[in-house]
Amino acid sequence: MFEKILIANRGEIACRVAATARRLGIQTVAVYSDADTNAKHVLACDEAVHIGGSAPQDSYLRWERILQAAQDTGAQAVHPGYGFLSENEDFAQACAAAGLVFIGPSPSAIQAMGLKAQSKQLMEKAGVPLVPGYHGDDQDPALLQREADRIGYPVLIKASAGGGGKGMRAVERAADFAEALASCKREASHSFGSDAVLIEKYVQRPRHIEIQVFGDTHGHCVYLFERDCSVQRRHQKVLEEAPAPGMSETLRSQMGAAAVAAAQAVNYVGAGTVEFIVEQVGMYGLDGAQAGLADGACQGETPPREGGERLPAGGVGARFYFMEMNTRVQVEHPVTEAITGVDLVEWQLRVASGEPLPLRQDQLRIQGHAIEARICAENPDNQFLPATGTLQVYRKPASVSFAVADGAVRVDDGVREGDTISPYYDSMVAKLIVHADTRAQALARLDTALAQTHIVGLATNVQFLRHVVHSDSFVNAQLDTALIPREAAVLFHQEPVGWVRAVAAVVAHTLRAERGLAGSDPFSQRDGWQAYGERTRSFSLSLGDATQQALLRYLHDGSLHLKVSQLDASASGLLHFNDQGDDGLWVSFDGQRTHSTLHWLDDVAHVFTPHGATRITLKDPLAHAGQEQTLGGRLTAPMPGKVVSFVVKVGDVVTAGQTLAVMEAMKMEHTIAAPKDGTVRELLYAAGDQVAEGAELLKLD
């Protein structure tokens, strides 16, 4: 076993690898960029080496600096984690040339499986059914357009060297192909250093199921069952679970055998994932019937489309098709660890040091059900736009960090309260993993854990995840990559749950704070006492665009009566609250008793209850309302990032919704569209410029 390893990554995966290494008595070396000087993963390791600027191309992708750091610190091996250099065969080869063990597959295996087009050609020769498409080397745009026309629309453009949904576009019409191709190539080149793409028929109702495989240097290879990763947004996974609901033992063994065969075809060593497109039998079930490619086959990790009919009952049987192989540990590996009791990172370290696999295939068992939710800094109600900012409040549920099967709730993260989510890296804040005996129990456990996750300071998808967990499709395991658009009515732009109770909590917290400030000074008390009659007090609050009025009456007997009104809705009743210390209160109002936690930022109360999270602004009646600004044709950057290009010039006449500029942030491209018809008067930046959030990009008349 190694004595010291260098972890060539950051964030939660670097912390995850360090935790297992520490348990095994292996010393660790962290690398960090300017932005990560005080990051959690730096402190999680025994040593740390600065390797460059904040942007990945200036640090985490500069493998010569990483190798130098490994040699300078005496590390014997390099663990690449996922992303960055984890699937870079040149880096793996450079590690070997420098006398370092690359904790992963051989460079030849990475090369064979790392390029989507080449891997599909390899699988095609092996007789594995593929979705119709073009996987050739000729990347002439005119040829690609002709191939797309031949395949028939809709088609999917995918970065050949890519993953994680980057460099991927669904194209509905031939007229849109050229623009989508150019965008894919830019994004692919920036993220993977190659702009090569492949074209595939975009088929509907896909189910994305992947098989975890593991090989060693002694010729052994096993599969550790499957994960269902069908719930996706922006072509990236949102929720993953293991085992796949509805999976028959027959289909499981067929897919497992196919995954092992794919791995053995390239003499695979280490942890890998073979991803399949699975066509569903009946309505949403799976069975073991394997057949050839047919219309309606499923296509994993694809942009979901609106609509679509469910497969009729008594369908043609489950079919699976090879999509790609990820030659690294996956983001969603904890659900496999939970159901098998296997520490996959430990297996990586043991196999890389020359040991055989710890278990044979017949010794592996599935235990219960596990689900992982990716908590990301983003705004689901604004097309999942990534968010940046400071984690002013970051409270996690009671959990076991980086445990394999020791706890029902596990949190993997690489941040702490007070850390900043920057535009340089992925928007994921943490992974929340739950494990239970059954899927229903796991769902309930996940919802509770999400309710106990309090993040203040930037937008997150926590409430969106709770909406997904409660949706009919997810509860009933009706899983496919169209789940989110199918359930859009209950997932997006939802009224805050229990807003009346949230308003009551804000009033109660305000009263508690006033009592604490007043202390024993009777002249500073605002408890409503007066010599004659009853006293009333009004509160003006806003929840989003809506305004609430709360009228508090101090009754003769010392009790409090509260009436909350919003437009034509109102509620009233006695208000009681019990201090729980810190930010917690038990609040009883209108016959309901709810535990609430409040975190204040200026005059905004972030209210967390078991029913959901709400932001309420307490208005100062003495403050003068400022005049509203009319933005007119102003266009501002929605987040910090880089201007990729302007697609208009000064003097151009544009229409509402027309693309004006393209920005890049958090490794994804974002389109800036015209809010109204007009004429471009001035471009305020040039392609390549870094801009701050809210910066005006151009002016329209």
Q: Residue 692's domain is classified under what CATH number?
A: 2.40.50.100
Do 299 and 414 lie in one domain? The reply is yes
Residue 544: both structure tokens together = 């989003």
688 near 643, Cβ under 8 Å? yes
Do 639 and 685 lie in one domain? The reply is yes
pLDDT score of 307: 30
Q: What is the phi/psi pair of residue 66, to 5°?
A: -65, -45
Task: Classify the C-alpha dihedral 7-343-224-430 as positive or negative.
Answer: negative
Measured N-to-C along each axis, helices 89-97 and 63-73 cross at an angle, to the nearest 10 degrees, of: 30
Of 156, 184, 201, which closes a domain? 201
Query: Does the N-terminal peptide bond of residue 640 adopt cis geometry, omega within 30 degrees of 0?
Result: no
Q: Is residue 366 part of a domain?
A: yes
Q: Is residue 465 part of a domain?
A: yes
Count CB neighbours of 227 within 10 A: 27
Do 227 and 183 lie in one domain? The reply is no
44 near 21, Cβ under 8 Å? no
Residues in the chain: 701
Where residue 147 sits, what CATH number does that domain have? 3.30.1490.20
pLDDT score of 315: 29
Do 417 and 562 lie in one domain? The reply is no
- Selecting among 62, 252, 328, 374, the annotated active-site residue is 328
Q: Is residue 479 part of a domain?
A: yes
In three-state secondary structure terms, 103 is coil
385 near 670, Cβ under 8 Å? yes
Where residue 557 sits, what CATH number does that domain have? 3.30.700.30
Count CB neighbours of 144 within 10 A: 23
Closest alpha carbon to 49 in 27, 29, 19, 71: 29
Where residue 347 sits, what CATH number does that domain have? 3.30.470.20
Q: Is residue 664 part of a domain?
A: yes
pLDDT score of 290: 37
Do 484 and 520 lie in one domain? The reply is no
Q: Is residue 630 part of a domain?
A: no
Do 483 and 604 lie in one domain? The reply is no
Query: Residue 596: which domain range?
Result: 499-618
Query: Does the N-terminal peptide bond of residue 56 adopt cis geometry, omega within 30 degrees of 0?
Result: no
Do 336 and 466 lie in one domain? The reply is yes
pLDDT score of 578: 87
Of 491, 522, 544, which closes a domain? 491
Where residue 52 sits, what CATH number does that domain have? 3.40.50.20
Q: What stretches of 59-112 adopt beta strand conformation (E)?
A: 77-79, 101-102
Q: What is the DSSP letter of 178?
A: H
Of 491, 520, 546, which closes a domain? 491
What is the spatial distance between Cα 264 and Cα 325, in angstroms, rounded to a whole number?
12
607 near 614, Cβ under 8 Å? yes
Give, in order, the Cα–Cα distances in Å from 33 to each of 48, 74, 240, 358, 360: 11, 20, 30, 36, 41
How would you classify the pairing of strands 378-379 and 393-395?
unpaired
Residue 612: both structure tokens together = 């959901």
Q: Is residue 629 part of a domain?
A: no
Do 158 and 144 lie in one domain? The reply is yes
Q: Is residue 119 part of a domain?
A: no
Is 328 catalytic? The answer is: yes
In three-state secondary structure terms, 578 is strand
Looking at the chain, the number of H-run helices and the number of E-run strands are: 17, 39
pLDDT score of 288: 43
What is the spatial distance between Cα 237 and Cα 229, in angstroms, rounded to a whole number?
6
Note the pTM of the prediction, 2 decimals. Answer: 0.80
Contacts of 552 (CB under 8 A, 6+ apart): 507, 528, 536, 537, 538, 539, 560, 561, 562, 575
Do 289 and 361 lie in one domain? The reply is yes
Q: Is residue 108 part of a domain?
A: no
Do 97 and 139 lie in one domain? The reply is no
Domain total of the chain: 5
Q: Which residues of the chain have pLDDT under 50?
A: 283, 288-317, 518-524, 622-633
Q: What is the DSSP string of 615-666?
A: EEEE--TTSPPPPPP--TT-EE-SSSEEEEEES--TT-EE-TT-EEEEEEET
Count CB neighbours of 283 within 10 A: 14
Do 604 and 485 lie in one domain? The reply is no
Do 150 and 252 lie in one domain? The reply is no
Closest alpha carbon to 569 in 493, 500, 619: 500
Residue 273: both structure tokens together = 């994932």
